[in-house]
Each structure stands twice: as structure tokens, then as C-alpha cells.
């Protein structure tokens, strides 16, 4: 069980992050592939070639590489990428033959890869592990107006019924898999993702603010893809309810401010509630620069309606910043309410405003919660996520009923 074919059809591990379709999953695939490689597994990540400037094969670290397969046009939007699955498979078979490779396990990420993985694992007679990252049925339940295709929901059901094991990021996701997709107990394994504790470290806040040219003495931060599900409008409305906004900067990192209609909508919300001048949309920021943004913040806010894990909240914690998050998904498991930040069970601005006010006006509380957050995040490196996956691969190889045993 040494060679892993990791499928990430639409989430390239070397893609630029923070755009509409690039975020946590790309990071997850990159970091687990690297950590598994460091443990001695040989990992090939197969992804759709989306940028002609990338080499076909690129190293991700020791024993880990990404293989770009030309399936469909480079700029195919995620919503149409299912059309590329047959060509993706053809190219993958050809690459495998050209290098005479044999794999011991297929690990697929997201439903598009899960669909390809069903075919591959069946053909190769090896176990198939799937990580969904997000579940369409759960997404649609979480916010009025969220739409996902019937094709996606049906394919997710087929994957859930056809794989040997599923990796869920939280117990909540495992329960959702059981209730919404009928996944039997024992098939879904909870393995929490992690945070790059070498990259995400606390810096001096004043130096960080100076580096970013922030003049205000209080900073509220949000980082991530810009989409309605992230509840950024709730944060903007909460900031508008603060007693005194004159010395506060609300930094919203992610997306493409010059072209994204959702950024435009959020700008309008900010000006409607009268805080347009206090809000900065920075656009996407290279991940290596994010520790400066996190370190400049007094408080990090993630008001998402749905969050399968929410890596950004854990990154903020690793930089010593208290987190105020909606009580969903990952944050619910790693934000300790009233210890490392606050969990908010309602999707409305008032409780966020209250908690933000509390932290901004109480530096002692902010410092002690920040320190507790940092300590909590330091226990969650990617190596433990990879160890969990590795143990799962071994258990499938050993199981008498597994595909690998030909049962």
C-alpha cells in the first residue's frame, strides 16, 4: 500500500489560491500529498491542466508530485468540469502506461474526482478512498438560494455507496453523510485537516500593520474565497453596529475586487450601512504573505453559513488571533467557545458585533484568547492528518473484504 493515486480533477495543488474556485481543497491536497510523501508513500496527484504555464509534471516535495492532464479547455469552469471526466481518465491511463506505474490505493477529492475514482479503482482492483470536502445536499440546506445540480447530488450518492472508505473532516460531516447519503456507520472516518504551523506563525502586530500600511489601531480580518455562503455580508453589517468605527479597519482578503460581482455587492452593502470607508477589499493574497495579514488582526471573523472545515480560521489561530466563527463544521470542533474565541449559533450581525466589541475593547482578553488559540492550533499539523490517511490505507489493505483482496 505504498503508491497512492490522488485524484483532484478540479483542485490543482499548485493553483493560485483565493479565487472563486481555489481554496481549502487545493491546500488540503497539496499538504496531505507532501506529508504522505515525507512518510515514505509515493504520491501522484492527478489534476486537470488549467494553466499552460505549468509543467506537466511538477514536484510537490519528497516522493510527491502533481501530474497535469490536458482534459478539456484550460479555463473550463468548475460547473462544467464533469464533461472532462472521460478525457481525464484516458489521459491518466496513457500517463500510467508511459511510466509503467501501479497504484495501491486511489484517493479522490470532491465529487468530480470521486466519479473518476470509481472507474479507476474498479479497473485496477484497489481500494478507493473519497474525501468530499463539501456535500451538495448540506450546502443547499445551509443557505436559502444555494443551488447545486442534481447530477452532483446523484453522483455523490453513487460515490458514497461505491467507495471503500470516506474521509470526513468532522463528526458533523460523518453524521451528514449518514443522514443525507445513507452512508453506513464504519465507512466514514473522521480525520481532521491541519495547518502549516511552519508558515502560520505569530509576527509582531505593529510590524505587520506597518508592512500593510494600516493606520487604524483596530483591525478585523476575514480571509477566503468571496462567495455568499461565507457570510461576509453578516460581518460587514456587524462592523457597522460597533460603537465607534472611526479607528477600525475591516480587511477582507480574497477574490478579485476588479471583476467579481460578489465583491461589488459587498461593497454596496458596506456603503449602504455607512462603513464603506472602513472596509478594504485586498483581493487574493499569496498564501506565504497571509501570516502578515493574520498577525495584523485583533480578531478574525468567519460568519459562514456552511464550512466543511474552514482552514482560514485555524490559520488565524496559529498566528495567535482569536476567532469568532459561526457554529458550523470545522470551527465548531477547533474554536473553543470563550477560550480561543467565540462560536455564534445565529446567522445575524448582532451577536457578531457584540463579540467583536468585547474583544476590541479588552486587550487583556484578546491577548489571552490569542495565546490559547495559538496553543490549540499548534497541535494540528498536517502530519497528523496524513498519519490518519496512511493508517486508513493500511487498514483497507489488511481488510479481508477489501477490493485489494479481490473479494
Nearer CB in complex with ligand UDP: 126/386: 386
Cα–Cα dist 337/345, whole Å: 11
In the range 311-340, which residues lie near ligand UDP by CB under 6 A? Answer: 311-312, 315
Cα–Cα dist 401/407, whole Å: 5
Closest residue (Cβ) to ligand UDP?
Answer: 23
Nearer CB in complex with ligand UDP: 221/396: 221
Alpha carbon distance, N-terminus to C-terminus of the chain: 17
Cα–Cα dist 47/231, whole Å: 30
DSSP state for residue 164 in the 8-state scheme = S
Nearer CB in complex with ligand UDP: 30/242: 30
Compute the least distance from the CB of residue 19 to ligand UDP, in Å: 8
What's the angle, vertex CA 31, arms to CA 140 and CA 305, rounded to 5? 20
Of 394, 406, 407, residue with least CA distance to 165:
394
Cα–Cα dist 128/126, whole Å: 7
Alpha-carbon torsion angle 306, 112, 399, 169, nearest 10: -20
Q: Rounded to 5, what percent of the chain is helix, strand, coil? A: 45, 20, 35
Cα–Cα dist 265/261, whole Å: 6
DSSP bridge partners of 334: none
Binding characters for ligand UDP, 35-54, by CB under 6 A (x = yes) = --------------------
Cα–Cα dist 306/172, whole Å: 11
Of 103-111, 177-185, 307-315, 337-345, the window that binds ligand UDP (rule: CB under 6 A) is 307-315
Compute the least distance from the CB of residue 95 to ligand UDP, in Å: 28
Binding characters for ligand UDP, 196-235, by CB under 6 A (x = yes) = ---------------------------xxx----------
Compute the least distance from the CB of residue 307 to ligand UDP, in Å: 7
Nearer CB in complex with ligand UDP: 24/127: 24
Q: Does 194 bind ligand UDP (CB under 6 A)?
A: no
- Choosing from 34, 96, 218, 284, the residue that interacts with ligand UDP (CB under 6 A) is 284
Nearer CB in complex with ligand UDP: 63/308: 308
Compute the least distance from the CB of residue 185 to ligand UDP, in Å: 26
Of 6-14, 57-65, 259-267, 309-317, the window that binds ligand UDP (rule: CB under 6 A) is 309-317
Of 231, 224, 234, 228, residue with least CA distance to 146:
228
Nearer CB in complex with ligand UDP: 91/230: 230
Of 44-52, 212-220, 281-289, 370-378, the window that binds ligand UDP (rule: CB under 6 A) is 281-289
- Going by their DSSP bridges, the two strands 165-168 and 42-48 should be labelled as unpaired
HSE (CB half, 13 Å, CA atoms) of 355? 28
Cα–Cα dist 396/119, whole Å: 18
Nearer CB in complex with ligand UDP: 25/212: 25
Would you tell me which residues interact with ligand UDP (CB under 6 A)? 17-18, 23-25, 27, 223-225, 253-254, 284-285, 287, 290, 309-312, 315
Amino acid at each position: 500500500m505504498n503508491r497512492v493515486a490522488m485524484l483532484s480533477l478540479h483542485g490543482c495543488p499548485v493553483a493560485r489560491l483565493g479565487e472563486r474556485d481555489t481554496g481549502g481543497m487545493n491546500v488540503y491536497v497539496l499538504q496531505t500529498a507532501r506529508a504522505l510523501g515525507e512518510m515514505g508513500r509515493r504520491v501522484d496527484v492527478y489534476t486537470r491542466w488549467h494553466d499552460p504555464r505549468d509543467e506537466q509534471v511538477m514536484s510537490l516535495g519528497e516522493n510527491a508530485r502533481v501530474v497535469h492532464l490536458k482534459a478539456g479547455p484550460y479555463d473550463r469552469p468548475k460547473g462544467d468540469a464533469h464533461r472532462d471526466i472521460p478525457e481525464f481518465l484516458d489521459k491518466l491511463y496513457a500517463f500510467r502506461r508511459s511510466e509503467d506505474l501501479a497504484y495501491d490505493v486511489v484517493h479522490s477529492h470532491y465529487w468530480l474526482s470521486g466519479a473518476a475514482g470509481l472507474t479507476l479503482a474498479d479497473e485496477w482492483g484497489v481500494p478507493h478512498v473519497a474525501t468530499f470536502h463539501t456535500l451538495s445536499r448540506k450546502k443547499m440546506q445551509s443557505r436559502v438560494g444555494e443551488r447545486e445540480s442534481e447530477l452532483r447530488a446523484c453522483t455523490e450518492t453513487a460515490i458514497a455507496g461505491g467507495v471503500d472508505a470516506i474521509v470526513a473532516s468532522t463528526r458533523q460531516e460523518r453524521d451528514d453523510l449518514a443522514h443525507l447519503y445513507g452512508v453506513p456507520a464504519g465507512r466514514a472516518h473522521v480525520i481532521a485537516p491541519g495547518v502549516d504551523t511552519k508558515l502560520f506563525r505569530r509576527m509582531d502586530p505593529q510590524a505587520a500593520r506597518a508592512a500593510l500600511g494600516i493606520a487604524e489601531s483596530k483591525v478585523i480580518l476575514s480571509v477566503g474565497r468571496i462567495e455568499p455562503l461565507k457570510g461576509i455580508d453578516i460581518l460587514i453589517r456587524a462592523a457597522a453596529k460597533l460603537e465607534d468605527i472611526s479607528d477600525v479597519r475591516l480587511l477582507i482578503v480574497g477574490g478579485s475586487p476588479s471583476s467579481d460581482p460578489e465583491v461589488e455587492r459587498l461593497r454596496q452593502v458596506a456603503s449602504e450601512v455607512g462603513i464603506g470607508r472602513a472596509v478594504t477589499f485586498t483581493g487574493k493574497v499569496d498564501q506565504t504573505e497571509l501570516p502578515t495579514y493574520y498577525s495584523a488582526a485583533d480578531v478574525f471573523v468567519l460568519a459562514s453559513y456552511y464550512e466543511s472545515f474552514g482552514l482560514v480560521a485555524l490559520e488565524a489561530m496559529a498566528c495567535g488571533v482569536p476567532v469568532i466563527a459561526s457554529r458550523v463544521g470545522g470551527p465548531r470542533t477547533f474554536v473553543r467557545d470563550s477560550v480561543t474565541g467565540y462560536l455564534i449559533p445565529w446567522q445575524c450581525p448582532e451577536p457578531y458585533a457584540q463579540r467583536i466589541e468585547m474583544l476590541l475593547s479588552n486587550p487583556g482578553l484578546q491577548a489571552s484568547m490569542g495565546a490559547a488559540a495559538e496553543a490549540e492550533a499548534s497541535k494540528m499539523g498536517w502530519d497528523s492528518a496524513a498519519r490518519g490517511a496512511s493508517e486508513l490505507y493500511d487498514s483497507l489493505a489488511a481488510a479481508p473484504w477489501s477490493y485489494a483482496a479481490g473479494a
